[in-house]
Amino acid sequence: MGRSMTTGLFSRWRAPAAMRPAFCAALALSLIFCAGQAAAEPARQAPATAAEILLSFAPVVKKAQPAVVNVYASRTEKRPKNPLFDDPVFERFFGGGRPGSSTTRSLGSGVLVDRSGLVVTNYHVIDGMTDVKVALSDKREFDADIVLRDHRSDLAVLRIKGGGDFPFMELGDSDALEVGDIVLAIGDPFGVGQTVTQGIVSALARTQGGISDSAFFIQTDAAINPGNSGGGLIDMKARLIGINSAIFSQTGSSVGIGFAIPVNMVKIVVAAAKSGKPVQRPWLGASLQSVSVEIADSLGLDRPSGALVNEVTSDGPADKAGVKGGDLITAIDGQSVDDPESFGYRIATKPLGGTASLALIRDGKPLSVKLTLAPAAEIPVRDPVKLKGASPFAGATVVNLSPAVIEEMSLHGVSEGVVVSDIEDGSTAAAVNFQKGDVILSVNDVKVRTTRDLERAVSSRHEYWKLTIGRGGEVVTTMLGG
């Protein structure tokens, strides 16, 4: 019936002979256009085969899930003996208070990345912990050693004791991700058991989280909850593309804003663990700052983007490459740089020993320089000293300040002195509230240049202690009783 209606419609009028060729051509083009529209917008239809009905992420999950593990970490602390516990009257009225121990526990997830039993998880999952167990998806449990802790990336590497032949996950390429890609998150939220959630890549290169020093994250709306930390974010080929690390939430539960550490950073940390060495990153040898709207206007930029060079360290890689204060870094090896954090991530994922091309803007003109990819110098040597005696520093371990230490501990605004690298639990230094990263500049107005200077300065008792300390980029002088 539709055909006869169409025929009747066009038979009501006949074009004059002279117009017929043009009319036919127009009609043909019109029909071709309509056919193209129909092809571009296929009609919705129900699944026609059993295979279409069974479309699922299950094959991806089956391939990846065996490589995702649960991580159980703990630390046992002994309570000191109190003389009152020897009093039978005290024990009678306050039973159960005898010296013993308390245990702190942490729960997270991890990903097997090596057949021999190498597991990647978050640093914050095992931070301060001494005992670690790993549970596989098939319910097998193993003790594990902590091979490497890297607080700057919030990553840690474990190794299952005794080794074996374990399922592991292939590492993908986080630089190949695009916003909108489908991803799956696998982990153990709230300790309920291994769970899979699905979403998309919501954003790339998120650098405002402040979750770790190498802040550069994949954002996803795949549900991530407490306990998912250290679990895998995977692509549709069952490859690891990120380690789930944090969520933005006002309730503690997922609201669809989760963050994962890109797998290209994971590769650097895993390679260091396999080599048996700490993570070493290329050193720029310059301090950077973000570009504000005002700075962008003063530089003639159409938008606030890039990393502005503040100060260049003499004889550092940037200085040798010809970088100057006031230069704007816009890219490294062709990868755009939006802020200091994105530059930090990009250079941290470069291998040592080669060079990188820095794209700069200087005085409004673009230029390119070659940066040598070398680690920060260990000059002077660290020379660690654990301080004892009756000083406020008792129980603190200090090391000499060097470019390597400044880089490793993310210190700012200091170039000399000694820095607190560790503090013993329950020590005088802990009670005084010294913190890792505190830079000791002077004691009782005597300048401290080395760890041995500080050791001598605190070797005798004083009625008072006048201390000048650098913390968080600020310098503070305080007085403590002897």
Let me know if 412 is a catalytic residue. no
Q: Annotation-wise, does 298 bind a ligand?
A: no
Last-in-domain residue among 321, 348, 372: 372
Q: Give the count of domains, the chain.
A: 4
Residue 12 lies in a domain: no
Point out the domain boundary residue: 338, 372, 406.
372
Q: Is 333 labelled as part of a ligand binding site?
A: no
pLDDT in tens, 130-184: 899 999 999 899 999 999 999 888 999 999 998 889 999 999 999 999 999 999 9
Catalytic: which of 229, 254, 402, 421?
A: 229
CA distance 202 to 199: 8
Residues 365 and 395 placed together within one structural domain of the fold:
no
- Looking at the structure, do residues 266 and 290 belong to the same domain, yes or no? no
Write down the catalytic residue from 106, 109, 114, 124. 124
In this predicted structure, the answer to whether residue 411 has a pLDDT above a threshold of 50 is yes
368 and 345 within one domain:
yes
Is the residue at 299 inside a domain? yes
- 145 catalytic per annotation: no
Residue 17 lies in a domain: no
pLDDT bucket at 105, cuts 50 / 70 / 90: confident
Residue 412 sits in which domain range? 385-481
At residue 278 the predicted structure's pLDDT band, cuts being 50, 70 and 90, is confident
256 annotated to bind ligand: no
Contacts of 461 (CB under 8 A, 6+ apart): 389, 390, 391, 482
Residues 138 and 226 in one domain: no
Do 262 and 315 fall within a single domain?
no
The overall pTM is greater than 0.85: no
Same domain, 73 and 156: yes
User: Is 229 contained in some domain?
Assistant: yes
> Which comes out higher in pLDDT, residue 227 or 32?
227
What is the average per-residue pLDDT within 472-482?
Answer: 82
Q: Residue 24 pLDDT > 90, yes or no?
A: no
The residue out of 244, 275, 306 marking a domain boundary is 275
464 in the same domain as 416: yes
Residue of 114, 150, 154, 339 marked catalytic: 154
Q: Is 229 annotated as a binding residue?
A: yes
Please report, for the domain that includes residue 458, its CATH number.
Answer: 2.30.42.10
Residue 154 falls in the annotated catalytic set: yes
Are residue 439 and residue 389 in the same domain, yes or no? yes
- Is 124 labelled a binding residue? yes
CATH code of 179's domain? 2.40.10.10
Whether 213 and 265 have beta carbons less than 8 Å apart is answered as no
